[in-house]
């Protein structure tokens, strides 16, 4: 009987499903592509709620690796069942050479004011060829290769070998200062024949995000701007052929494909899918954070950078150091999902990793090994060891292949792998390896493949993007407007505090210019004029916080602009529009408190005019500071320029220095100051009122006499000229802001500035292979004595305030416990590894032990040498290498290390000893500060990458 009932239930469910599919097929095409069967209901996938999307993805991906593989296989099977194929991209690069100019200065290498003046003096002599200009630095040296679809390629090589330069060149994102020669093509199309930034996705090794947004919001915005590519066309064709063949797809697969094929949505199912695959679902509603605001961990931020780009429809992925800060298990999971994506959907993926674990290395199909700008090997992973055995080097048993490849190309470690006992070993340089690879059968096969032209088909063309932006202009505007509104709400405290400050100052102003004291006569006219100018000054300065907020977001803007998320106007127009209500509020608060409190002319129309004029001035102030931020971009310099511009505007504003008192050759500045027009407007509005029209002398009315004394004797119609002038300034500043963001280049990476003496010395060192001064100093290593000590901790607890998002979701606790009963000891002569998955609390524990936590609640016993820890004394005997690198940007590495040596080493150490100490660490700006102190306790936060 139970089996009969179960068969009856199955038949009933099948009949119900058939009826649901029949109902969907009767819908119009547009609605049919948005309607799917979810559970036992027919739903519109565009209207799925947040909880429904999360439950659907959780059911679809219970075990991420296995279920993701099953999902992709079902997607491929559905497409192939109706005779369709995924569009693929083959990337070719041939004889690719990239050079950079080494900037040489005459004298010291530090870019000081004196060196800048000398560079200007020597510029004419450089142009005529009398002086040395600097040599060319070749970053990539005639590299060639093919990246095939449905294959995962690993890019290996030591730092500064050219990996990032190669990835950026293939993605069409090379810096403008670099000279790129050679040929790069996608499916036979050159980079100038399509939009490579939309066809491929480049994941940078730097994490740049808006700190106020959550992880989910960041991914949602990225998915909205990148669009859906050809998913909608693919789904439409698949549905059409399935209807003709009478095939009903699996409901879950159909729901997923339809949900990710709808573009322009604020919330998308693709976000929940990426969150699940990358393991970010646990922190989806946590803000990203930055150095000043607590947010997600460094490893989670690295995964967010990856997810921000792979959430789009790009068929080619270039990934630069995506495992930085991740544990080996998380890296393995991510690379596994990428391998499934490459093999099943036939994507083209090139991943750069610094130290992959053996099981991660085995997931790749091909390997590119680089050194000193040369491609030492480019071919199948299975054949890489045979190539090096052909060259005379053999990987030992139980040696990680990735580590062997990194070491065999270096002069220091190469000799240990030489296996020809009957031959004399000689160092083989990377250029010699590259030459040997070209002569090898694999190298010849690669050259033959590059020599054969790729046939261009319609399928190949459909995989490329020929449109700059994925969304229509109105959709781009709405996307940027909603994000700007979100950021305004996140920064509500700044706006509320600014308005509250304005209210307090307005109340104080009323007490200074109190109504009973303000008589309508010539004796008190200057007080009226002073109060009006002070109102303009306050409203002008009140827009200053816009400078810092704009500068802080420029890095993210340039990143998203250069990968064509949106144009500059879509960013600038919402920023201007959404500040209008704030300006209206601030102008109304000031006018409402001070107008009748100071005893200005009581006519309502004059009140409204002053209110509108102050509103326009506030808008002009905000737009001016935005323009300065977009042009200068350097925060300290931008702040100086802003203050200088305010001083200039105040001087030319017509109050501090009246117009008649200005020299004749400076009076033009009066008409170029928006403050002048505002001063004219408010003065004419007040002193041409009815109560100021008493005839006081032959010079006219009392109001006209006051205006003449201050050089503001203009007729009443100038009130409207002032309004028009302020609107003009507002438009000019906003247009300038948009143009500055449209045409300015993104800040490039820092480049070394080498003096002529050092440049010639480096050239000599290359020729004779003599040690550099830093190496000579390194040979004189010494270890300063210090007293070893023991750090013990018992039952350490750490609590943080529960985020507002969690409390809104019903989390009952007011405090969130991040460390639970942690007990341990760090002893002298014992190196301890702190391991755990990303987000496990490793950084939190080190912050607590080192005394870096300035918020939250810490409980438990921490003892140093058996005594309770006293932070003031403990800071002198401990050092902490944080995972976030924060340094003075204007200092060189040598100066930074020397400065740390002077601060951390004891005063009795001689100058020569200090010089040896910081020369020993020259080139390592990350850890010089703690190590230079020769302290007995050291903490390293993710100092090494992905320890297996």
SS3 readout for 449-511: HHHCCCCCCHHHHHCCCCCCCCCCHHHHHHHHHHHHHHHHHHCHHHHHHHHHHHHHHHHHHHH
**What are phi and psi for residue 374, nearest 5 degrees?**
-105, 150
Answer whether 37's CB lies under 8 Å from 251's CB. Answer: yes
Per the structure block, which two tokens stand in for 273? 């899918």
Q: Which of 430, 422, 440 is nearest to 384 (CA)?
A: 440
d(CA 825, CA 841): 17
| First vs last C-alpha separation in the chain | 56
Maximum distance among all alpha carbons in the chain?
117
pTM, whole model, 2 decimals? 0.81
Answer whether 612's CB lies under 8 Å from 518's CB. Answer: no
Answer whether 939's CB lies under 8 Å from 881's CB. Answer: yes
Answer whether 817's CB lies under 8 Å from 799's CB. Answer: yes
Three-class SS state of 926: coil
Q: What is the 3-state secondary structure (H, E, C) of 388-424?
A: HHHHCECCCCCCCHHHHHHHHCCCCCCHHHECCCCCC
List the alpha helices (DSSP H) in 744-793: 756-768, 773-778
Answer whether 343's CB lies under 8 Å from 366's CB. Answer: no
Name the β-bridge partners of 862. 793
Answer whether 778's CB lies under 8 Å from 919's CB. Answer: yes
Residues in the chain: 948
Helices (H) and strands (E) in the chain, counts: 39, 22
Calculate the CA 850 to chain-centre distance.
Answer: 29
What is the predicted pLDDT for the residue at 699?
64
Q: In what helix (H) or strand (E) does residue 577 lie, and over which residues does it extend?
A: helix 568-577
Residue labelled with tokens 């781009």: 476
User: 945: buried, middle or exposed (CB in 10 Å: 19+, 13-18, 0-12)?
Assistant: middle
**What are phi and psi for residue 264, nearest 5 degrees?**
75, 10
d(CA 700, CA 723): 26
Per the structure block, which two tokens stand in for 44? 């519109």
Look up residue 565 and give its DSSP letter: S
Which residues of the chain carry a pLDDT beneath 70?
1-15, 102-135, 695-699, 748-786, 804-806, 808-811, 838, 912-936, 938-948
Per the structure block, which two tokens stand in for 15? 């009949």
Which residues, 6+ apart, have CB-to-CB distance to 71 below 8 Å?
A: 60, 61, 253, 256
Answer whether 317's CB lies under 8 Å from 201's CB. Answer: yes
Per the structure block, which two tokens stand in for 681? 């407007």
Answer whether 68's CB lies under 8 Å from 277's CB. Answer: yes
Q: In what helix (H) or strand (E) does residue 16 lie, and over which residues does it extend?
A: helix 2-25
What is the predicted pLDDT for the residue at 489?
92
Structural domains in the chain, sorted by start: 86-103+133-209+314-468 (3.40.50.300), 473-743 (no CATH), 791-940 (3.40.50.300)
Answer whether 268's CB lies under 8 Å from 220's CB. Answer: yes
d(CA 920, CA 784): 13
What is the predicted pLDDT for the residue at 774?
43
Per the structure block, which two tokens stand in for 725? 């002038």
User: 500: buried, middle or exposed (CB in 10 Å: 19+, 13-18, 0-12)?
Assistant: exposed
Per residue in 566-616, pLDDT (tens digit) is 999 999 999 999 999 999 999 999 999 999 989 888 899 999 999 999 999
**What are phi and psi for residue 512, nearest 5 degrees?**
-75, -50
Per the structure block, which two tokens stand in for 93? 């690069």
Residue labelled with tokens 């420029």: 554
d(CA 568, CA 560): 10
What is the predicted pLDDT for the residue at 113?
66
Distances (CA, A) of 134 to 102, 121, 130, 765: 5, 16, 12, 16
What is the predicted pLDDT for the residue at 45?
87
Distances (CA, A) of 592 to 161, 523, 585, 598, 602: 65, 26, 10, 11, 12
Cβ atoms within 10 A of the Cβ of 321, count? Answer: 21
d(CA 726, CA 394): 76
DSSP, residue by residue, 146-211: EE-TTEEEEEE--TTSSHHHHHHHHTT---TTSEEEEEEEETTEEGGGS-HHHHEEEE-SS----T
C-alpha torsion sign, points 240, 243, 245, 249: positive
Per the structure block, which two tokens stand in for 265? 């949505």
Distances (CA, A) of 653 to 400, 706, 889: 72, 17, 37
What is the predicted pLDDT for the residue at 102?
61
Calculate the CA 464 to chain-centre distance.
Answer: 26
Which residues, 6+ apart, have CB-to-CB distance to 777 below 8 Å?
A: 915, 916, 919, 920, 922
Three-class SS state of 139: strand
d(CA 6, CA 1): 9
């Amino acid at each position: 009987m139970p089996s009969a009932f179960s068969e009856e239930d199955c038949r009933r469910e099948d009949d119900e499903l058939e009826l649901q599919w029949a109902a969907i097929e009767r819908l119009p095409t547009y609605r049919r592509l948005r309607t799917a069967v979810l559970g036992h209901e027919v739903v519109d996938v565009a209207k799925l709620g947040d909880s429904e999307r999360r439950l659907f993805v959780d059911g679809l991906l219970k075990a991420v690796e296995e279920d993701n593989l099953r999902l992709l296989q079902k997607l491929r099977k559905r497409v192939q069942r109706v005779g369709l194929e995924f569009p693929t991209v083959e990337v070719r690069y041939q004889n690719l050479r990239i050079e950079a100019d080494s900037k040489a200065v005459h004298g010291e290498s530090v870019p000081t004011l004196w060196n800048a003046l000398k560079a200007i003096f020597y510029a004419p002599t450089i142009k005529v060829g009398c002086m040395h200009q600097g040599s060319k630095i070749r970053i990539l040296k005639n590299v060639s290769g093919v990246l095939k679809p449905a294959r995962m390629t690993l890019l290996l090589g030591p730092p500064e070998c050219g990996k990032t330069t190669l990835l950026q060149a293939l993605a069409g994102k090379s810096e403008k200062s670099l000279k790129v020669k050679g040929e790069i093509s996608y499916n036979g199309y050159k980079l100038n024949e399509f939009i490579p930034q939309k066809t491929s996705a480049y994941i940078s090794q730097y994490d740049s995000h808006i700190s106020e947004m959550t992880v989910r919001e960041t991914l949602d915005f990225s998915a909205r701007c990148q669009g859906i590519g050809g998913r909608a066309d693919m789904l439409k064709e698949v549905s059409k052929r399935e209807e003709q063949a009478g095939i009903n797809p699996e409901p879950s697969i159909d729901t997923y494909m339809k949900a990710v094929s709808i573009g322009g949505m604020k919330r998308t199912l693709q976000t929940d899918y990426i969150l699940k695959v990358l393991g970010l679902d646990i922190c989806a509603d946590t803000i990203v954070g930055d150095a000043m605001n607590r947010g997600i961990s460094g490893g989670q931020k690295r995964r967010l950078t990856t997810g921000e780009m792979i959430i789009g429809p790009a068929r080619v992925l270039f990934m630069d150091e995506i495992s930085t800060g991740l544990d080996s298990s998380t890296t393995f999971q991510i690379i596994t999902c990428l391998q499934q994506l490459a093999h099943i959907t036939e994507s083209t993926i090139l991943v750069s990793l610094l130290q992959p674990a053996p099981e991660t290395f085995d997931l790749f199909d091909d390997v590119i090994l680089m050194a000193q700008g040369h491609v030492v090997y480019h071919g199948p992973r299975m054949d890489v060891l045979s190539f090096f055995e052909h060259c005379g080097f053999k990987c030992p048993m139980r040696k990680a292949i990735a580590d062997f490849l990194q070491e065999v190309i270096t002069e220091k470690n190469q000799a240990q792998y030489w296996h020809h006992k009957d031959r004399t070993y000689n160092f083989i340089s990377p250029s010699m390896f590259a030459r040997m690879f070209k002569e090898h059968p694999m190298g010849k096969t690669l050259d033959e493949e590059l020599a054969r032209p790729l046939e261009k088909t319609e399928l190949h063309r459909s995989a490329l993007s020929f449109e700059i932006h994925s969304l229509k202009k109105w959709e781009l505007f709405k996307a940027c407007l909603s994000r700007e509104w979100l950021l305004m709400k996140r920064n509500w405290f700044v706006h509320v505090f600014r308005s509250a400050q304005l209210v307090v100052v307005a109340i104080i102003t009323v007490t200074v210019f109190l109504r009973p004291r303000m008589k309508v006569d010539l004796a008190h006219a200057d007080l009226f004029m002073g109060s009006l100018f002070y109102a303009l000054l306050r409203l002008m300065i009140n827009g200053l916080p816009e400078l810092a907020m704009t500068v802080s977001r420029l890095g993210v803007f340039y990143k998203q602009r250069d990968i064509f998320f949106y144009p500059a106007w879509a960013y600038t127009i919402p920023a201007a529009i959404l500040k209008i209500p704030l300006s209206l509020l601030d102008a109304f608060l000031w006018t409402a408190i001070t107008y009748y409190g100071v005893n200005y002319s009581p006519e309502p129309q004059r009140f409204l005019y002053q209110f509108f004029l102050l509103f326009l001035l506030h808008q002009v102030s905000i737009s001016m500071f935005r323009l300065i931020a977009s042009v200068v971009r350097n925060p300290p310099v931008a702040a100086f320029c802003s203050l200088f511009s305010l001083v200039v505007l105040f001087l030319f504003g017509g109050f501090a220095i009246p117009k008649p008192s200005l020299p004749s050759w400076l009076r033009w500045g009066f008409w170029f100051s928006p403050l002048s027009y505002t001063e004219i407007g408010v003065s004419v509005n007040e002193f041409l009122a009815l109560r100021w029209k008493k005839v006081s002398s032959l010079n006219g009315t009392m109001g006209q006499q006051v205006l003449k004394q201050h050089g503001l004797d203009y007729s009443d119609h100038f009130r409207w000229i002032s309004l028009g002038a302020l609107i003009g300034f507002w438009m000019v500043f906003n247009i300038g802001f948009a143009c500055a963001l449209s045409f300015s280049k993104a800040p490039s990476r820092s480049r070394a500035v080498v003096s002529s003496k050092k440049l010639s010395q480096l050239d000599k060192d290359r020729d004779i292979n003599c040690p550099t001064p830093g190496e000579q100093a390194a040979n004189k290593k010494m270890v300063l004595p210090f007293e070893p000590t023991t750090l013990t901790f018992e039952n350490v607890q750490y609590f943080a305030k529960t985020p507002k998002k969690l409390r809104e979701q019903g989390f009952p606790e007011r405090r969130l416990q991040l460390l639970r009963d942690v007990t341990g000891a760090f002893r002298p002569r014992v190196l301890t590894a702190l391991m755990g998955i990303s987000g496990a609390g490793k950084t939190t524990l080190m912050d607590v032990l080192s005394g870096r936590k300035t918020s939250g609640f810490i409980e438990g016993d921490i003892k140093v040498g058996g005594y309770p820890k006293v932070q003031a004394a403990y800071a002198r005997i401990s050092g902490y290498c944080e995972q976030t690198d924060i340094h003075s940007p204007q200092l060189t590495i040598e100066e930074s290390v020397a400065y740390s040596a002077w601060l951390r080493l004891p005063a009795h150490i001689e100058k020569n000893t200090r010089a040896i100490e910081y020369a020993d660490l020259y080139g390592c700006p990350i850890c010089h500060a703690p190590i230079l102190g020769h302290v007995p306790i050291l903490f390293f936060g993710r100092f090494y990458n992905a320890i297996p």
